[in-house]
Amino acid sequence: MSVNLVGKHFLKLLDYTPEEITYLIDLAADLKDKKKKGILVDQLRGKNIALIFEKTSTRTRCAFEVAAHDLGMGTTYLDPTGSQIGKKESIADTARILGGMFEGIEYRGFEQTIVDELAKYAGVPVWNGLTNEFHPTQMLADLLTIREKLGSLKGKKLTYMGDARYNMGNSWMVTCAKMGMHFTACAPKAYFPNAELVAECDAIAAQTGATITLTEDVMAGTKAADVIYTDVWVSMGEPDEVWATRIKELLPYQVNSKVMKNAAESAIFMHCLPAFHDLKTKIGKEVYEKFGLAELEVTDEVFESAQSVVFEEGENRMHTIKAVMAATLGYK
């Protein structure tokens, strides 16, 4: 069956079939190949997209802008403070205004219900650039990276360490269920994804051959894993006060050389980034001064090791976001 995603929103991978996800990764690989060869893909000339960022970003914003320009499109960036959104103008009104001027809208911000509301009223494709609950464009980049590095997706074991109940942990559980991969959340119980989403993913997994495991045991959870994945312990929008508890509860789930040695010999380390692995950031330094820890969710040794694919993963954000826009806006 041929896949047609023209006009479809990209809000979370739960809305996409495994075939559609594979189609997007294949398209991204093709667009990446064309980019490397210098082949222009500017077929979407004349179109414009709006980029709403209620939270900060390096990768996602740059990926959307570069990808849009490569496709021939214009971009308008609305920063976390510079628009009326949510303060003087409702999401529904904003959606109808932007939908009248732009062919597509990216949204990064808080609750998933906000991006759902934008999609309901915009009349043009809306793409989720990260919410509290999900980060679906990150998933496509990561799947492309895993395929490039390990050759295939089905049957691969991915262990997610740390805060598994937020956007990245949720997204990985959904993605593994869809793609027939083995997902393990390795975290204290309080950081497991919520039971309702686990049940939904279990039902999908039963169809695809995936498995979902939740464990507090680091050695059992990381044993023979093909991919060790982690993310920051305090996400954007969360208060600084939670650092003390997070460090206390999540430090045992830090990705270090012991974890990597316990994983498969060919295992790769992944992180959506930004990462706290040294003292070269403002927050990293503040945490060090307060808690005496120089490395947080991942040690510098692992981050800089040959097993770490984080920078290729970062580049793939652009190719995969390009694929999402191309597919939903009718690139041929």
Catalytic residue positions, numbered = 108, 135, 138, 231, 272, 317
Residues 171-230 that bind ligand CP (CB under 6 A): none
The enclosing H or E element of 22 equals helix 18-37
Residues 168-187 that bind ligand NVA (CB under 6 A): 168
Residues 34-63 that bind ligand CP (CB under 6 A): 57-60
Query: Of 214 and 318, which has the nearer Cβ to ligand CP?
Result: 318
Edge-to-edge order in the sheet of strand 268-271: 211-215, 182-186, 157-161, 227-230, 268-271
Residues 248-287 that bind ligand CP (CB under 6 A): 272-273
Region from 39-47, 164-172, 244-252, 304-312 binding ligand NVA, contact rule CB under 6 A: 164-172
Is 296:276 a contact under the CB 8 Å cutoff? yes
Verify binding: residue 166, ligand NVA, rule CB under 6 A: yes
Q: Are strands 227-230 and 126-128 parallel, antiparallel or unpaired?
A: unpaired
Backbone angles phi, psi at 312, to 5 degrees: -65, -40
Q: Collapse the DSSP code of 230 into the 3-class scheme (helix H, G, I; strand E, B; otherwise coil) and give the result.
A: strand
Q: Tell me the one-letter amino acid at 201.
A: C
Partner from ligand NVA, ligand CP, none binding residue 58, C-beta < 5-8 Å depending on class: ligand CP
Q: Write down the residue that tokens 């950081």 correspond to.
A: 191
Region from 46-54, 102-110, 163-171, 189-197 binding ligand NVA, contact rule CB under 6 A: 163-171
Query: Of 104 and 314, which has the nearer Cβ to ligand CP?
Result: 314
Minimum distance from CB of 317 to ligand NVA (Å)? 10
Token pair listed for 261: 């040695």
Residues 65-104 that bind ligand CP (CB under 6 A): none
Give the Cα separation of 137 and 127 in Å (integer): 8
Partner from ligand NVA, ligand CP, none binding residue 157, C-beta < 5-8 Å depending on class: none
Binder of ligand NVA out of 14, 41, 66, 236 (CB under 6 A): 236
* Contact partners, residue 155, CB within 8 Å, separation at least 6: 180, 181, 182, 209
What is the Cα gyration radius of the chain? Answer: 19
Token pair listed for 17: 């079939």
Give the Cα separation of 44 and 70 in Å (integer): 9
Is 73:49 a contact under the CB 8 Å cutoff? yes
Partner from ligand CP, ligand NVA, none binding residue 166, C-beta < 5-8 Å depending on class: ligand NVA
Query: Of 62 and 236, which has the nearer Cβ to ligand NVA?
Result: 236
Which parts of this chain interact with ligand NVA (CB under 6 A)? 130, 166-168, 231-232, 235-236, 272
Question: Which residues here bind ligand CP, judged by CB under 6 A?
Answer: 57-60, 130, 138, 272-273
